[in-house]
Amino acid sequence: SQKIEQNSEALNIQEGKTATLTCNYTNYSPAYLQWYRQDPGRGPVFLLLIRENEKEKRKERLKVTFDTTLKQSLFHITASQPADSATYLCALDPSTGFQKLVFGTGTRLLVSP
Amino acid sequence: DGGITQSPKYLFRKEGQNVTLSCEQNLNHDAMYWYRQDPGQGLRLIYYSQIVNDFQKGDIAEGYSVSREKKESFPLTVTSAQKNPTAFYLCASSMGVGATNEKLFFGSGTQLSVL
């Protein structure tokens, strides 16, 4: 069956450290993968998109990698801050002809001062 | 400011009642979507629309209905046939077919609860 999985346990780290979140998928061949940030009671906000032919994408303190062999994407936040505390969702395009993103369950990140 | 507006923020439904969630966008996007979010689950697609006057069922359309009479509006009706409607409902839009950067823009959501 098709699955997209993120660690359901919250990730607790100290301010200034690098946070690394994982997104694994099974039985998909996505053309691209996206990462979103969601705060409690709010809608997700787009952060980064990485295509299947790109290994790495950066935006300020954010970095995303995409390994189509391992069927995995890693999302890194360097020099993390308490304001980075949120739930991070990965989403992939299942390449069904029209974009109908499939979302993971999200991983909650807690950054302590 | 451009964006997506969902209303109301909180909604309560009585047994046997239909309720309608509003979604309006001023981004001039062709495509619009409705997702449902339950605790511990990923966003699940209810309905989507690629263009005005056209819409398709998503993965969990049973008990829901939509219309797309105007480009900027995509209301969702939760009917009495939906037996477990309590959830956080998210409306989203994207530029549409043919765009190279198909990120979604989300509204701030409607929390629907059953009385």
Model confidence pLDDT, tens digit, residues B48-68: 999 999 999 999 999 999 999
Select from A107, A110, A87, A89 the least CA-distant residue to A40.
A87
Minimal Cα–Cα distance from A8 to chain B, Å? Answer: 8
Task: Kindly state the tokens that stand for B89.
Answer: 């409902």
Chain B residues in contact with A103 (beta carbon < 8 A): 35, 42-43
Task: Kindly state the tokens that stand for B20.
Answer: 């309608």
Convert the pLDDT of each residue in A9-64 to its tens digit. 999 999 999 999 999 999 988 888 999 999 999 999 999 999 989 989 999 999 99
Chain B residues in contact with A8 (beta carbon < 8 A): 40
What's the pLDDT band for B95 if we cut at 50, 70, 90? confident
Chain A residues in contact with B90 (beta carbon < 8 A): 43-44
Q: Quickly tell me which residue has 């956080």 as its tokens.
A: B88
Q: Quickly tell me which residue has 């200034």 as its tokens.
A: A16
Q: Rounded to whole angstroms, how far apart are CA atoms B86 and B10?
A: 11
B86 backbone dihedrals φ, ψ, rounded to 5°: -65, 115
Task: Kindly state the tokens that stand for A46.
Answer: 């787009």
pLDDT for the residue B66: 98
Q: Rounded to whole angstroms, how far apart are CA atoms B59 and A12?
A: 33
Handedness of CA B91, B37, B53, B95 (dihedral sign): positive
Minimal Cα–Cα distance from B43 to chain A, Å? Answer: 6
Select from B111, B98, B112 the least CA-distant residue to B29.
B98
Partner-chain contact B43 A89, CB within 8 Å: yes
Select from B4, B28, B75 the least CA-distant residue to A43.
B4
Least CB-CB distance to A43: which of B31, B50, B108?
B108
Partner-chain contact A99 B31, CB within 8 Å: yes
Task: Kindly state the tokens that stand for A107.
Answer: 């991983």
